[in-house]
Chains A and B, each alone.
Chain A
Amino acid sequence: MKQHWNAPAIAALATGLAAAPAAAQGIDETVNQVFANSTGWFVSLIFSNFPGTSFPWIVGWLVIAATVFTLYFGFVQFRAFGHSIALVRGDYSDPNDAGEVSHFQALTTALSGTVGLGNIAGVAVAIGIGGPGATFWMILAGLLGMASKFTECTLGVKYRNEYADGTVSGGPMYYMTKGFAERGLPGGKFLAVMFAIFCILGSFGGGNMFQANQAHAQIINVVGDYPGWITGVVMAVIVFLVIVGGLKSIARVTEKIVPFMAALYVITALIIIAMNYDMIGEAFRQIFVGAFTNDGVVGGAIGALIQGFRRAAFSNEAGVGSAAIAHSAVRTKEPVTEGFVSLLEPFIDTVVICTMTALVIIITGQLVADPTTGLFVLNEAGTQIQTVTGNSGVALTSDAFSSAFGWFRYILVLAVVLFAFSTMISWSYYGLKAWTFLFGEGQTKELIFKVIFCLFVVIGASAGLGPVIDFSDAAIFAMAVVNIIALYLLMPIVKAEMNSYLSRLNSGQIRKYE
C-alpha cells in the first residue's frame, strides 16, 4: 500500500526537480493564484463584517461566547486556577492509576498543538497591523478564552466514546451527538457533521498550511530565498513518515524538544525584557493607550481590537473545539477535572507566551513611529505598520529577538520548524478523528486522509502568506461557529458537573492523595 502511494509522490518530486530552478518560482505563483481563487468565497463569508461596521462578526461571536461562559461559570478561570495547578501536579491523582495518561500529559499534549506559530508569527502579524494595543485585547481574549476551553474540554471528556480495546475517541462531534440526544435537543448530528467538515479543513489550514508556510518563511529568512515547494516536500515526507509510517521516534523527539524550546523562548524573551527594563513602562503605556486610541495603526483602535482578538483565538483555539479532542483521552472519573486543567492552556499560550513575543517586539523598537507626532507610520500599501527591516510575521519576531542576541535567529528557526512540526502532528490527529467520524474507521480511509494532509503541507509552503493565513483563520473559525452553538446548549450540563465537584471538594469528600 505504501509503495502505491509513494510512487506518484516520487514522480512529482522528480518532475519538479527537472523543471527547477527556472520554473520553480512559477510553481509557487501558480499554487498561490489557484489557492487564493478557490478559497476566497469561504474566507469572505467567515470574515464578513457586522452590517454597517468594520467589525467581523466571527470575532464578536468568539468574544461574546467567552464572556458568556466566564459569567455563567462565575469566573471559573480565576476561582479554579489554584485547583487546576494542583490537579496538574498530580495532588489529586490516585496512585493506583499510575501508568494512565496524567493530567500533566493531557495538558502538554494539547499545548503542543496550540503553542506554535500563533505565538511567534501570529502575534507579530497582530502587532504589525494593530499596533501594541493589539496586545491588550489579545491578553483579554486569552483570559476570557479560558472559560470557553473549560466548557468544551469538560464536555469532551464527559461524552467521549470508549471502545472495548481501551482506546477512546472524543471531541465536539461526540458531545454534539450524545449530549444533544441526552438533553432531547434536535440537530446534534447535523452540527457534528458540520464540525467534522470544518475540522478537516482546519487541519489542512491553520494546523498545516500556515505552519508549513511560516516554517519556510523563517528558513529563507536565515539561509536565503529558494522556492517554497522544496521545504514543503521535505516537511511532507517527514510528516508522512510519522503519521503513515508510524515512525514514532521522530514524534517522540519532537514532543520532548518542544517544551524545552518553549521554555527557552520565554526565558530569552524575559532576558531581553530585563535588559531593556527602562522600556517596560513605556511598552505597557503603548499597549494600554494603543488599545483605546488611534495611534496611526491600520483600522484605528478597533483595528487593534480585531487583530488582538483574532490572533488570540487563532493561537489558543479556545472555543474552536480542537482541545476537546486532545483532552478527551485522559483517564479521570470526573470530567470537570480535565476542564479545570485545560483552562490553563489559554493562560500559558496567550497570556504568558504571546505577551512575551509582543513585549519583545515593542521593547526592541521594531515598529517605526513618526518622531514628531508619535504616531506609527504605515507602509506604502497602507496594509500594516512600517517596521525597521520591512519584515512582517515570523521574520519580524526574528528581527526583534536577534536585535538583542544575533544567534537567536538560528534558535528561532529550529523552534519554528519544531513548533510547526508538532502542531502538524497534533492537527493531523484532530483532522483524522473528524475524518473517521464522517467516514468510519479503516486503514484505507485513514490513509487517504493522511496523504491529502501531506499534500497540503506542500501547498502551504508554496503559497503566499496572505491567502494561507486567511484560509487558515477562516477554517478554524468555522469550527468555532458550530462548536459554540453546541457549548451554549450544553453548558447547563457542565455547570451541574462543576457545582457537584466543587461542593464535594469543599466538603472534603474529594481529597488530595498523600
Chain B
Amino acid sequence: MSRKIVVGFDGSEASLRALDFAITRAQAQGDNILIAHVLEWSPYSFLTPSEVEERHRRRTQELQRAETAILTPVVKRVEEAGIPVATTLRYGHIAETLCRIAKDEGAAMIFIGRMGDSGFASRIFGSVAATLAQVAPVPVVIVP
C-alpha cells in the first residue's frame, strides 16, 4: 500500500536536502509525497488599523508568491522522479501546523531539514526540528 510522506519545505537548502532524501525513500518504497509549506503566523500578534484593512489582500499575495516561487519549482522535481506529489500551503506555527497536516492527511512520516543552529538562538526560540521530534504524531526524519 502506498503511504503518504509529508515534507516540510520552505525553499531553503536544508529543506531541499530533506526533499531529495524523501524522494529516494519514496522511490524505494513506492510512497507519495505531500510538500507542505507553512507561513509563520500567529493570531495573537498585534496589528495597526491599516494592516488590518490590508490583511486579506496581503494574505492572497503571500499565498500566490509562495505557490509560484517556492512550491511550483519543486513539484516538477518530484514528478520527474516519478513520484505522485501534492502540495499544501498553510498559515500558523510551523511545527504545530506540520503535525496537524500529518494527522489530517493520515501521513506515515514527516521529513524535514534542519538549519543546524546549535547555538544560543535556538535554545531560546526553539527549533522546528526539536519541537517536531517532541510532539509529532508520526515518525519524523530530520535530514542534516
Q: Which residues of A contact B (CB under 8 A)?
A: 90, 93, 95, 98-102, 104-106, 108-109, 112-113, 165-169, 248, 251-252, 255-256, 258-259, 325-326, 329-331, 425-426, 429-430
Contacts and interface: CB of A to CB of B under 8 A. Distances in A.
Given A99-B91, A104-B44, A109-B46, A167 B57 contact: yes
Interface of B: 39, 41, 43-57, 59-60, 62-63, 90-92, 100
A161 to B, nearest CB: 11
Contacts of B59: 99-100, 166
Given A99-B62, A102-B44, A109-B47, A330 B91 contact: no
B44 A95 contact: no
B113 to A, nearest CB: 23
B19 to A, nearest CB: 24
Given A100-B59, A251-B48, A329-B53, 5 more contacts: A98-B90, A99-B91, A101-B52, A425-B48, A425-B49
A166 B56 contact: yes
Nearest to B52: A329
Given A100-B55, A100-B59, A331-B56, A93 B48 contact: no
A425 B51 CA distance: 12
A256 B53 CA distance: 18
A463 B116 CA distance: 59
Contacts of B43: 90, 93, 98, 102, 104-105
Contacts of B57: 165-167
Contacts of A330: 52
A52 B54 CA distance: 51
A101 B49 CA distance: 11
25 contacts: A93-B43, A95-B100, A98-B91, A98-B92, A99-B62, A100-B59, A101-B47, A101-B52, A104-B43, A105-B45, A106-B52, A109-B47, A109-B48, A113-B49, A167-B56, A167-B57, A251-B48, A255-B46, A255-B48, A258-B46, A259-B46, A326-B49, A330-B52, A331-B55, A426-B49
A165 B55 CA distance: 11
Contacts of B62: 99
Closest 10 CB pairs of A and B: A99-B91, A166-B57, A102-B43, A98-B91, A429-B49, A255-B46, A166-B56, A329-B52, A101-B55, A99-B59
A165 B49 CA distance: 17
Contacts of A109: 46-49, 52
Nearest to B90: A98
Contacts of B60: 166
Contact of B53 (A90, A102, A168): A168
B104 to A, nearest CB: 9
A104 B48 CA distance: 13
Given A100-B55, A168-B53, A112 B46 contact: yes
Nearest to A96: B90
